[in-house]
Structure 1
Amino acid sequence: GVSYLHRPLPPPRISAYTQLTRDGRRRWLTGVDENRLYINSFSGGPIYQVGINGGEMVQVPVAVPGILPMGADVLPDGSSLLVTSNEEGKPARTLWNVRIPDGTYRRLGYALDATFSPDRSTVLYSTPEGDIRVVRSDGTGGHKLGSAGGIANWPFWSPDGRVIRFSRGGRLWEISPNGSSLHELLPGWHGADIICCGQWTPDGSCTYSLSVSPRFGLLMSGADRFGKRAPSLSNWPPGQSNGIRRTPAGTARKSSLMVPPCVASSPASTQRPKPSNRSWEASPQRLSRSPTMASSWPMSPTRTATFGGPTSGSKPLQLTDPPMKASLPRWSPDGSQILFGDSSSGRNVMFAVPSEGGTPKRVLPDDNGEQTDPNWSPDGKKIVFCRGGGFSDSKSVLGILDISSHQVKQVPGSDGTFSPRWSPDGRFIAALTANGERALRVFDVSTQRWLELPVVEGVDFPAFSKDSGYIYFESNPEEGNPEVVRILRIPVKGGAAELVADLKDWRFTGRPGTWMGLDPDDAPLMMRDAGSKDIYALTLEEK
């Protein structure tokens, strides 16, 4: 009898599902009230609403200061909507509490993500500095609750208000409302490579979360607060789902989840522009230059590193395994090593692995700080990288590691920069500013001075041309607005930026949502969403 009482409960079952949207566009589900779903466009832009049983999508009239408003949460009765927007010169997106339907609003702070408290009186939000803060719904009484230990996204409060959970580094974490007891949920459990975006059951007994794994897209019963439910994955099809929300109505045994979006066809392809007319053609995924080979790093559900053989084509070789979360690979100049970043620990660190296969090893095993965007020098004797959290960390600096001496020196004047790239001729290092503008800067290695370039804001993924004369980059001044995203190039020694390709109506995909690189002929490579994605309502039943 006693052993039976301690047996893990079976996972909830998906008894039915209903398709709610039918335009195939990638969306971000921001909230659900008693009658409606609130939806963000993946690349920013208007906030939409649609009936809880489907129907026509209607734009929500939100007129807060700034650009690219995006919803974060909604009260169950639909009376208030949390919205963030970009305001020029601000340290992060501004958080607003917007009354519906009159549209009046109050400024609450600067946030990455936010949610209402169960009693509706306060708002919990995370900051780019890794803090978790609370503020009253009227904007008063704001204070720091605690530190998340890193970038926290998708916070969600238990129905009884006793526990706060959030996503950090692809895992679920928990903290008490008084800022104590920070810990990871399901430590050491590798049934899914990435877990995020949780929601509580109506009775608060356990949570549902989205997962990314080789087989499944929904983690049904992770982290039972009473220890009676083992982690288990659902029978929901795999896909790149963004967000999960539970309807306000529901019982302890039956409830509905809204899940967007699910891939109904081939999810992505990598494409390059045809030289003749700037249209796009298919290409192998995620190429990174090598003297004799082309490496491939597809953003597959397992997040593993792979690389192709000779460019004539051969079977890819897998170089890393879960739980490692590899990103941004870089071939060594002699082709013997591949440098990459790993974020499986919740922070980014540098690794290197032999290109013919072997055990990945930490490049700086005694360094406990963040190390992002590592890049080789052309002679393979040094590595330039970013110390800090990258684009959201104004305290980031660039470091250069001398491989033979294991000494790291800071690049002069690199405070507040990230995303370094070393030119093929070794003369320059390109980087981006981390102050929200993401402007391009170029460091002259010989003179140890920064060059003056025309100001181009919203730069992503800089890449030197093979002759080191140009820097190609994705220009995204409005944080993903598809109407303004372009690929440009600019002369290293000065001059106006030139248009290479217009990305209007481009369907972005990948993690963290977009990527650009160059093939060996300086043709840009982009990830394009070739799938069909829509929002579904899942009916869950517990036995």
Structure 2
Amino acid sequence: MTGEKVDRVVFGNFEADLRSGELWKSGYRIKLPRQPFRVLAALLARPGEVVTREDLQHEVWAANTNVDFDQAIAAAINKIREALGDSAENPRFVQTLTKRGYRFIAPVTLMPEHPISPPADSMPLVIPERISAHDGSENNVEDEPKNLQALPSGSPNAQTGRTQSRPESVPTIEALRTDRTVFEEDLTKGALEDRFNRLDRTKFAYLCLIAISVFACAMIGRWLSIPTPNTTPYRVEQITHYVPISLGPPNPESFLAMAMDGNRVLTPVMVNGRPRLSAIDVDTAEVQGIEVPDEISSNSLADISRDGSRLLLRSQQSTKSEQPLWVVPSVGGSGRRIPGVLAHDAAWMPDGTSILYATGNDLATIGPNEDSSITYAKLPGRAFWLRWSPNGSLLRFTLFDPVTHAAALWELESGSHTPRPVTIPNFISSSACCGVWLPDGQSYVFQSNDNLWQLEGFGRQAKLVQLTNGPLRSLSPVAARNGNRIFFVGLEAPAGLQQFEAERKEFRPAPAFLADANRIDFSRDGRWVAWTDLHEKLWRAHTDGSDKVRLTSDALEVFLAHWSPDGKRLAAMARKPGGVWQIYLVDANGGKAEVLLDEARNAADPSWSNDGGSLVFGREPDLMGKENGSRTIQIINLSTHRVEEIPSSEDLFSPRWSPDGLWIVSLTLDQKNVMLYDVTHQHWQRLVSTSAADPIWSADSKAIYVHAFLADRQPILRVEVPSGGTQIVADLGNLHNGDVANYFFGGITARGEPLVQPRVGTGNLYSLELTKP
């Protein structure tokens, strides 16, 4: 096969470097031994096709290898799944076909050897040379580098921007056999010096000149592609002032979508405490309710037809992810359920009659008179906000990583079934979502970090412009059908952390230095407080606010942290942007955070033993990130790093070790029961049956505080240990801001006073004119 060689393959957040034999994820290297990597490369050569065990044997092992190939291949597949966070039961990447072989099921993008060159018509995928191992083991392979090494500068997945290429046809495995490359051998310093000394000096001088030229061009290109600063403010107008637009429940997969119907914005509005689909006139701000069938009185808006006559609504009558789809007139009235379809989002196809919907990790279509669906595309995650370009040639959508729940923008050309990430030059945020096309089909506005951005053009030549920059949170954009006007929901800055005062029986503002605190933990001597802010950074200070220090950099997102018993360290649940949650140890005076476990799956909620020698931790519920292994409670010894599982802890999460070391509490995965573990006698009991989140121990270990978030008024309960007796400490009624829909239970003061971060569940409608004044 002729054409430019492919040396890198991108799939999801991963990239396989076929020349070096390295696997990368979101800019960090994932440890994968050499032989499993070759198996992965063979699967990547034929995405979507069945690769038999015989093919893998021929591709990976030399002819004189004497080994149990079935066992060796199975072991390699297990290593691949472990590195990718995949599972045989619910595969996202590698699917097992019983008695047949394996299939790589995620979309792939082939990256050429020289990405700055024009793409060739066909690009052969190169698998490194075979490895000979007479015993089938990895003993003849040198030690692999440590996991999660930083991506070299200039690599396609570096945080400065992702290099993308259009998908190409994948070659056959026969073609691969005629064109191979070998792994680069590991070179010692002496070997490198020896090679350098053998270089022709003239050639070396030319190489240096070329390198300098390339660097200069790269710097010019980077300067030209820096996002344009918004030096001249765009005209922003507040449309409504007292119309509470409902944002929906506070979970990662809850998106407020709006639609335009002429001069009306269709969106859910709170009426008598319940969201109701309504139309807001953008000229008069008048609101009119839209009648829908009783079967979908609780619904979310997915899309509106191009002629503005029909709505696609998704039922929300239950908490299940996949729900029925309905077609309802945009003026209201009776509707029609789409037969046989359960989805979490949907959109009209460009023909205006068929429907594209997202279910699980797939996109599927169904016609107006059809009873069965057709799979349209396989995705490496769950898709939301499906939006076709005005000419119907390109679909863009928000893709959720099923493990990390990081959001990213992806696209799919009409008629193609191979999705790819949207190229956004010099965009460094780890999250982007919820994009809409402008009528010209060249501009695309999306949301990231509570601000709006505009992407003009396509590919590396696209221009990125930041449209808003706070203090208003700008969410859920929708474009006018004509012109350059964008409508969005604006939220005022939250009221800040609130502290409960038992004597007054009301929440009052917490100390000013904690205003942005989200989850708070006090040291056991009462002198220090640590907290994560609303931007997932970790801080610490004296309890009077003095000696305030930020402990983590922008390279780490921190969910929560707990003080060690001696007050010298904190155990944090954190992750690199786009990565999985891990346990880190952070010095109380700052410095580099030390990752404690090196896994390709989420580890969460570290909590200290009373002697400071161990940590109990758990895994994550689906709301925070899908887990591929069992969910149990485990204890890690900090001296030996040995991990032990607590017996009978299956399907539990969010553990907390009592300060006296005698008890561990955890929640069931459905968050309807609080379980208590007796450390001395090693047995579990149900402490209380209630909806529960964010358990926190009292300082004397006699009670646990939990947030009963599903109960009426969402009370914070104090539960006695071990009796299970409960009392309400505070609830929503103690907050005086009527716009507060719910709150996050962030911590307990030394005196047992709850700390909460209120969440405003509604916003107002704003418009933004993209033509500057």
Same fold (TM over 0.5): yes
Establish whether residue 493 from structure 1 lines up as the match of residue 725 from structure 2.
Answer: no
Q: How far 1:111 sits from its partner (Å)?
A: 5.1
Aligned ranges 1:242-391 → 2 under 5 Å:
242-247=475-480, 249-250=481-482, 254-263=483-492, 266-283=493-510, 284=514, 285-286=517-518, 287-291=520-524, 292-300=527-535, 303-308=536-541, 310-338=542-570, 339-342=572-575, 344-365=577-598, 367-391=599-623
Q: How far 1:259 sits from its partner (Å)?
A: 1.5
Q: Quote the Cα distance in structure 2 between the aligned partners of 1:256 and 1:146.
A: 32
Q: Quote the Cα distance in structure 2 between the aligned partners of 1:323 and 1:27.
A: 33
1:180 to 418, 426, 448: 418
Q: Quote the Cα distance in structure 1 between the aligned partners of 2:504 and 2:334.
A: 45
Asked if the contact 1:273–1:524 (Cα under 8 Å) also holds between the matched residues in 2, the reply is: yes
Q: Which residue of 2 aligns with 1:20?
A: 239
Aligned ranges 1:65-144 → 2 under 5 Å:
65=295, 69-76=299-306, 77-87=308-318, 91-92=320-321, 94-100=323-329, 101-106=332-337, 112-120=344-352, 121-125=354-358, 127=360, 131-136=361-366, 140-142=371-373
Deviation track 1:376-426 (CA, whole Å, cap 9, x = no partner) reads 333322223333454464864333222222222333333333322222222
Q: How far 1:451 sits from its partner (Å)?
A: 1.0
Q: Which residue of 2 aligns with 1:204?
A: 441
Secondary structure class of the residue paired with 2:544: coil
Q: Quote the Cα distance in structure 1 between the aligned partners of 2:649 and 2:348.
A: 38
Q: Which residue of 1 aligns with 2:749?
A: 519
- Which amino acid in 2 is paired with 1:319? L
Secondary structure class of the residue paired with 1:227: helix
Deviation track 1:81-103 (CA, whole Å, cap 9, x = no partner) reads 3234142xx64363432413224
Q: Decide whether aligned partners of structure 1 residues 455 and 119 sit closer, same or farther in structure 2, where only a CA change above 3 A counts.
A: farther
**Range with greater deviation from structure 2 (352-361 or 90-99):** 90-99
Asked if the contact 1:145–1:179 (Cα under 8 Å) also holds between the matched residues in 2, the reply is: yes
Q: Quote the Cα distance in structure 1 between the aligned partners of 2:508 and 2:467.
A: 36
- Which amino acid in 2 is paired with 1:488? L
2:261 to 34, 38, 59: 34
Asked if the contact 1:9–1:229 (Cα under 8 Å) also holds between the matched residues in 2, the reply is: no
Q: Quote the Cα distance in structure 2 between the aligned partners of 1:377 and 1:426.
A: 6
Gaps of 5+ in 2: 1-216, 248-255
Q: How far 1:536 sits from its partner (Å)?
A: 0.6
Q: How far 1:54 sits from its partner (Å)?
A: 4.8
Q: Decide whether aligned partners of structure 1 residues 357 and 487 sit closer, same or farther in structure 2, where only a CA change above 3 A counts.
A: same
- Which amino acid in 2 is paired with 1:352? L
**Range with greater deviation from structure 2 (66-75 or 408-417):** 66-75
Q: Decide whether aligned partners of structure 1 residues 51 and 514 sit closer, same or farther in structure 2, where only a CA change above 3 A counts.
A: farther
Structure holding more strand per residue: 1
Q: Quote the Cα distance in structure 2 between the aligned partners of 1:109 and 1:375.
A: 43
- Which amino acid in 1 is paired with 2:684? W
Q: How far 1:181 sits from its partner (Å)?
A: 4.3
Q: How far 1:317 sits from its partner (Å)?
A: 0.9
- Which amino acid in 1 is paired with 2:597? L
1:451 to 685, 691, 704: 685
Q: Quote the Cα distance in structure 2 between the aligned partners of 1:397 and 1:67.
A: 38
Q: Quote the Cα distance in structure 2 between the aligned partners of 1:529 and 1:388.
A: 23
Q: How far 1:231 sits from its partner (Å)?
A: 2.8
Aligned length: 513
Q: Quote the Cα distance in structure 2 between the aligned partners of 1:54 and 1:386.
A: 52
Establish whether residue 232 from structure 1 lines up as the match of residue 465 from structure 2.
Answer: yes
Asked if the contact 1:95–1:110 (Cα under 8 Å) also holds between the matched residues in 2, the reply is: yes
Q: Decide whether aligned partners of structure 1 residues 441 and 9 sit closer, same or farther in structure 2, where only a CA change above 3 A counts.
A: closer
Q: Quote the Cα distance in structure 1 between the aligned partners of 2:296 and 2:564.
A: 43
Q: Quote the Cα distance in structure 1 between the aligned partners of 2:296 and 2:652.
A: 24
Aligned ranges 1:403-442 → 2 under 5 Å:
403-435=638-670, 438-442=672-676
- Which amino acid in 2 is paired with 1:373? D
* TM-score, normalization by structure 1: 0.81
Secondary structure class of the residue paired with 1:397: coil
Q: How far 1:455 sits from its partner (Å)?
A: 2.3
Q: Identity percentage over the alignment?
A: 22
In angstroms, what is the RMSD of aligned CA positions? 3.8
- Which amino acid in 1 is paired with 2:283? N
Q: Quote the Cα distance in structure 2 between the aligned partners of 1:318 and 1:397.
A: 32
Q: Which residue of 2 aligns with 1:219?
A: 453
Asked if the contact 1:83–1:98 (Cα under 8 Å) also holds between the matched residues in 2, the reply is: no
Q: Which residue of 1 aligns with 2:99?
A: none
Q: How far 1:528 sits from its partner (Å)?
A: 2.6
Relative contact order higher in (CA < 8 Å, ≥ 6 apart): 1
Asked if the contact 2:741–2:761 (Cα under 8 Å) also holds between the matched residues in 1, the reply is: no
Structure holding more helix per residue: 2
Q: Quote the Cα distance in structure 2 between the aligned partners of 1:289 and 1:441.
A: 24
Larger Rg: 2
Q: Which residue of 2 aligns with 1:477?
A: 710
Aligned ranges 1:154-173 → 2 under 5 Å:
154-159=385-390, 160-168=392-400, 169-173=405-409
Q: How far 1:354 sits from its partner (Å)?
A: 1.3
- Which amino acid in 1 is paired with 2:592? T
Q: Quote the Cα distance in structure 1 between the aligned partners of 2:437 and 2:407.
A: 16
Asked if the contact 2:257–2:301 (Cα under 8 Å) also holds between the matched residues in 1, the reply is: yes
- Which amino acid in 2 is paired with 1:104? G
